[in-house]
Structure 1
Amino acid sequence: MAATSREQTAPAEDPFVVLHVGDLHLTGRSEANARDLAAILDQIGAITPRAFDFVYLPGDLAEDGTAPQYAILSAALDRHPDLPVRLIPGDHDRQHGCIEAFHAMFTTVAGSPRGGKHDPVGHSLPQPEDPREVSQYYYADTFSGVRCLFVDIVSAGFSRKGIGLDFRLGRPQTLWLSDQIAQAAASGTPCAIFVHAYPDDLREPDERLDIAGLIWNGNVRLVEMGHTHYNELAHDGRTLYAAARSVGQNEDGSVGYAVAAIDGPVTSWRFRALDRTPPFVLITSPADRRVATRPATDENSGMVRDGQGRIRVRAVVLSDREPQYCHCRVDFGPWITMVSQSARTFEAWAPWPAGARSLQVEAVDARWPGHGPDYVDTDEIEPARPSAPGEDEPSLPDKPGSDAFRLGPWLRKGVRGDQLGPNRAGRKW
């Protein structure tokens, strides 16, 4: 029988949780990606209680940026009118040098209560011919104590079909981003950035380094991206860069969506495949060694022990109903029952002996037949060990804001590491 762990201390605040539905590339209502989008939103809409802050759509919503293609997304969203959504444009939303259809979509969704009531921002920006008034789609919100910055790297660019990518922020948005990051850092507020692509994909070298430097020096916790079309994690010692596979145009296994969390000092991420039954588990504390802030300490990796030598284990469980039970264990030790602390968090205090290596959290649904993978899910991490005394802060990478420091395969998190997509090693969609 599993032991039950309760600690006589006030529970921590709920973690910040975002669900990232990757590049849609919608074309026709009968296509697979349109059906997958509807199924993903149906699954997300069935999560109860709502254990996340919002659904993120990272651009490339429509393959050719046309109104009929956005109508497919509108119809899918209309089935879930209370679902909070945040969106930005991608390069395919500006195909043919035009972004008017995306503009209409943005003003409808982002301008509504479900989208935060945000409006496009107008600036006079350089263009291939003459400077002209350009709408940009950037804004900020705060969720669960995390400052979320939504960045538009497309509207200031010159991209047109057949010419290729041309990602730019423009000076007004760059100054806004710098101010937002600085304010969050000064107030000690965790900051997450939502953008279409790696900063290293920006066209201008100076802008590329400026944005990567802002992220590095501002200690931004998470940069969540689309564009790659495959799941990828890159960690530079301070910031986790996370790209989620696309819903359309992909060779990276099962379609689904990413789940990212910031829980106190810990950032975590895992991909949820659509073809898996509920529940879904994400360990939000402590930190895995691969994504822990360096140099690692007990404090910044969530490994502070109580008077009995135990660590606080926290996890988010996503399901269409309350799990029958959720429990955790260290290595192959006894299971410890986790207690529901809120609508989104399960928690336990687990002994962490010297030499321990892994931590598992498992959630089991009442529909589980007692065998097989359906209706049971496990997340597993290798908690960070304290860095050696005197270890220096990590230095700025040679290519900041890029995938140069990507982690490679991490199958338990849904990362295959083969970069199968149109922007690296896949087919030319």
Structure 2
Amino acid sequence: MSTNAHDQSNVLSWVHFGDLHITHRDEQNYQNFLTLIAHANTNLAAGIDFAVLPGDNAEDGTEEQFLLVKQAIERLTIPLEIIPGDHDAKTGSLDLYRRCLEPELWRSRSISSYRCLFLNARDNGSQKGFGIGPAQTEWLASELRASDASEQWPVLFMHTYPSELGSSAAAVQALMRNHHVIMVDMGHTHYNEIASDGRTIYAATRSTGQIEEGPVGFSIANLDDVVVSWKFKPLGAWPFVMVTSPADRAFIIDTDRPDQVVRGVTEVRAKTWDALGVVSAVCRIDDGPVWPMRRIGTSAAWGCAWDSSESADGVHHLTVQVRTADGREASDTISALTSQSGRYEMPQCRPGDDVNAIGAYPEKGILGTQLGPNKNGRKW
């Protein structure tokens, strides 16, 4: 298995550890984080480009709490990107966050066809709330222009939905529209949620530190060209597999692309993770025959051809099942949309971002209950 599967499959993949809210070493959320790191190191390191901590790393923003986070992430063998949240600035500034965790409050990482932009949503100059200041806004505009010039797909990482960025929300949303940001990856919600405005996928991963729904885990996201895939992985058995292309119907953001509205012969691709690796993979459309898949080089990705003209126009369940050498299995199923004419009218989206949440999708780990402190759940 390649130590950098992206080099061969051109699929950008990252693992997202939800908001930590670390307080004390002996608290369950800290122990959970250490366990998640151990699972990631053992099973993900060969097929993940980087890990993300999306803010609210320290519950009260104290030096003691930040140092606990630092001690934990020193165990992580995957490259790590950290951004701040509102709890990280609870003391009134991000000085301790910068000293203990990450000195740069915003920065970019370019990987092949993608430009990942990590933002500071607490750059609003006030004690509370979210926002992006003038300097960061200009930096973001410059990075997005550079992304266009380099023919890279931009992806934003921030603590919260862009619509919650206060007086700077409109400017950030305009930049996103003008430069076709394909995905925004976030924390803050404390529940898993996917939203789509027809151009951009918004993915929020639930908290690690203040859990209201479901078991502890992390999310994995992939970008396979312009196809976005996302799934929550609870702590438990391995292997893990995700279909990275074609797009799930809920993740369509470009109807002109045959890897999103499927037509003709398209390649089915899937990415796998396991400590020992996967030795075989098969694909199936609805209740049809099982097709063997081939490994893509020596990477963790597998592929096969699907002649969609043999399937009626409409939604089809596409399942990939994988097996390890010692007989352990896992599968992933998406709802793929076919249209041989290429015609498809996207569902009407409302202005904004979280208002376009797709709702419950248990197969992806989205329960739809929206429990937590930031919307419909109880307040902490």
After TM superposition, is the score higher than 0.5?
yes
Superposed displacement of residue 391, structure 1? 6.7
Which of 173, 178, 184 is 1:217 aligned to? Answer: 178
Match of 1:411 among 339, 362, 378: 362
Identity of aligned residues (%): 33
| Selected match of 1:174 from 137, 142, 146 | 137
Q: Deviations over 1:113-151 (max 9, x none)?
A: xxxxxx53xxxxxxxxxxxxxxxx000111242100001
Equivalent residue in structure 2 for 1:360, among 310, 315, 319: 319
Instruction: Tell whether the 8 Å contact from 1:70 to 1:101 is kept in structure 2 after alignment.
Output: yes
Whether contact under 8 Å (2:258, 2:266) holds in the other structure is no
Alpha-carbon distance, 1:170 to partner: 0.5
**In 2, Cα distance between equivalents of 1:261 and 1:241:** 13
How far off is 1:265 after superposition? 2.3
| One-letter amino acid of the counterpart of residue 24, structure 1 | L
Match of 2:303 in 1: 347
Matched residues, number: 370
Give runs of aligned pairs for residues 263-302 of structure 1, distance below 5 A.
263-274=224-235, 276-294=236-254, 296-301=255-260
Residue-by-residue CA offset, 1:45-83 (whole Å, 9 max, x unaligned) = 012661010000001000001111122222222223x32
After TM superposition, give the deviation of residue 24 of structure 1 in Å.
0.2
Aligned to 1:130: none
Rg larger for: 1
- Find out whether 1:248 has 2:244 as its counterpart: no
Q: Which moves more between the two structures, 64-73 or 240-249? A: 64-73
Partner of 2:152: 189
> CA separation in 2, counterparts of 1:89 and 1:189?
25
Corresponding residue of 2:114: 146
For 2:52, the aligned partner's letter is Y
Is 1:199 aligned with 2:150?
Answer: no
Question: What RMSD over aligned residues (CA atoms) do the two structures have, in Å?
Answer: 2.2
Report the counterpart of residue 284 of structure 2 in structure 1.
329
Structure 2 unaligned regions, length at least 5: 1-6
Q: Is this contact kept in 2: 1:303–1:312, CA < 8 A? A: no
Which AA in structure 2 matches 1:229? H
Contact 1:166–1:203 (CA under 8 A) maintained in structure 2: yes
Counterpart of 2:4 in structure 1 is: none
Mapped to 2, the partners of 1:187 and 1:302 lie a distance apart of 26
Structure 2 CA distance, aligned partners of 1:179 and 1:363?
42
Q: Aligned partners of 1:334, 1:340: CA distance in 2, in Å?
A: 19
Conserved 8 A contact 2:258-2:342:
no
**How many Å separate the matches in 2 of 1:193 and 1:235?**
14
Offset of residue 264 of structure 1: 1.3
| Alignment partner, residue 127 of structure 1 | none
Please state whether the residue corresponding to 2:30 is helix, strand or coil: helix
Give CA deviations for 1:363-421 in whole Å, capped at 9, x if unaligned. 223444xxxxxx422111111334977778898x5532x30111001111111111111
Give SS of 1:172's match. helix
Where do 5+ consecutive residues of structure 1 fail to align? 1-10, 108-118, 121-136, 160-164, 369-374
Q: Tell whether the 8 Å contact from 2:261 to 2:338 is kept in structure 1 after alignment.
A: no
Q: Does the aligned pair in 2 maintain the 1:265–1:302 contact within 8 Å?
A: no
Residue type of the alignment partner of 2:60: D
Q: Deviation of residue 252 (structure 1)?
A: 1.9
The 3-state SS of whatever aligns with 1:382 is strand
Say which is worse superposed, 93-102 or 230-239, in terms of deviation: 93-102
Contact 2:9 2:301 in 1 (8 A): no
Q: Is the Cα contact below 8 Å between 1:22 and 1:57 reproduced in 2? A: yes
Task: Give, in whole Å, the separation in 2 of the partners of 1:40 and 1:234.
Answer: 26
Contact 1:14 1:263 in 2 (8 A): yes
AA at the equivalent of 1:335: V
Deviation at 1:203, TM superposition (A): 2.0
Q: Alignment partner for residue 78 of structure 1, among 74, 79, 82? A: 74
SS of the residue corresponding to residue 79 of structure 1 reads coil
Asked if 1 retains the 8 angstrom alpha-carbon contact of 2:246 and 2:260, the reply is yes
Is 1:316 aligned to 2:309, yes or no?
A: no
Distance 1:255 1:314, change over 3 A: same
Helix, strand or coil: the match of 1:142?
strand
